[in-house]
Amino acid sequence: MNLGTRAASFGTAVLLALAIDAAVAQSASAVPSDCAISRDNSTNQYSSLCTAGTGEHRIVVNWKFVNPWLPPDVYTSYGPWVGVGSVSTTSGIAGGAVIIGTAVQLR
């Protein structure tokens, strides 16, 4: 095998190793997807459900009181971290609270 052939073979091996490394890194960093947020009006609870991907997700709700006698602080309620296909539900949101925003955190 001459030097040119060896260099080409080595270059091909390096490119193949880099491609494999990139594929492994991409699959290891996958996160949940196809996520939805829902609200139960009777309990004032919010939930998140992700149905695809891997990893974990949780519901996050930012809210504040509308009572002028209470501080105007914004509060955050978190649901537990759960896997794809499981529901994360948050409670502890005060009745009559104004919801500032909701989100699904992914990891």
> SS3 of 37, please?
strand
Q: Rounded CA gap, 19 and 15, in Å? A: 6
Tens-place pLDDT, residues 27-36: 556 899 999 9
Residue given tokens 């947020």 in the structure block: 37
In the sheet that 45-52 helps form, which strands lie side by side, from edge to edge?
Answer: 33-40, 45-52, 87-90
Backbone angles phi, psi at 89, to 5 degrees: -125, 135
Tens-place pLDDT, residues 46-66: 999 999 999 999 999 999 988
The angle formed by the CA atoms of residues 73, 77 and 82, to the nearest 5 degrees, is: 160
Does the model's pTM come out above 0.85? Answer: no
